[in-house]
Amino acid sequence: MIETTKQERELLDHAIGSRKTQKRRKAKSLKDCFRNHFVASPGTGDDLVWRKLEAKGLATLISGPQEMLPYNIYAVTETGFKELD
């Protein structure tokens, strides 16, 4: 297991919709999750936590800031999903 903080686990869990499926059952795999993204303003506390998660291989940056969407968008990786068990 990779060492994670309570805040990191909470953000991972939030990004995937608290591990619920659309039918409100606990998701058994990442692809069954309600969603898999988290939007953070660059440089904020949440963004810094997501950067740490990315460095640990628990998340990935899907998209960086763009003109019409000035945010970082992250997704949980399979490794990150397994970390929540």
61 pLDDT band (50/70/90 cuts)? very high
- Of 20-24, 75-79, 81-85, least confident by mean pLDDT is 20-24
Provide the sign of the torsion angle of the four alpha carbons 66, 77, 4, 29, taken in this order. positive
- CB-CB contact of 65 with 71 (8 Å): yes
Is residue 21 over pLDDT 60? Answer: no
Cα–Cα distances (Å) from 11 to 37, 39, 66, 75, in that order, read 10, 11, 23, 11
Element housing 59 (H / E): strand 59-63
d(Cα 74, Cα 16) in Å, to the nearest integer? 11
pTM: 0.89
22 pLDDT band (50/70/90 cuts)? low
